[in-house]
Amino acid sequence: MRGAMKDYFDVRLDDGQIQAISSIGLAHLGDAVYELLVRTWLCAHGKATGRGLHRAAVELVKAPAQAARAERILPLLSEEEMAVYKRGRNAHVHTIPHSASRSDYLKATALESLLGWLYLRGERERINRLFAVMMEEEEDAT
């Protein structure tokens, strides 16, 4: 892979390369994917107003909020996606923030693992479809 990557916004790794990445590694990347989606969603929906923007983003990326959004998409996941989700949920996390229960934190890690996996496969359309379902309730409120 060294030297072969040209466009980090349009990444496509093969299954073997992705399999070599730990669940925590996928979650690390998926956390950034989710954060970018949330920030984009907030800006696109006119919620980009000063201090409120940061606060709104923080509320949406906290583990309990991510866990709730993960629950919304579980019925939509393919077998392969569910396997990635479960692999992320079973990852050995060592620290859990005080603002989250262990269960919520593991679900959030699972969601982030799934998003990282989809991102590395180049499945932007699938990410967008799942994110739209995750944000439906907020969409109705705007």
Q: What does the pLDDT look like over 59-101, one tens digit per residue? A: 999 999 999 999 999 999 999 999 999 999 998 877 787 778 9
Question: Cβ distance 17 to 1 under 8 Å?
Answer: yes
pTM equals 0.89
Distance CA 11, CA 76 (A): 24
Chain-centroid distance, C-alpha 116: 7
Give the confidence band of 5 by pLDDT, cuts at 50, 70, 90: low
Q: Which residues form the catalytic set?
A: 31
Amino acid symbol at 37: L
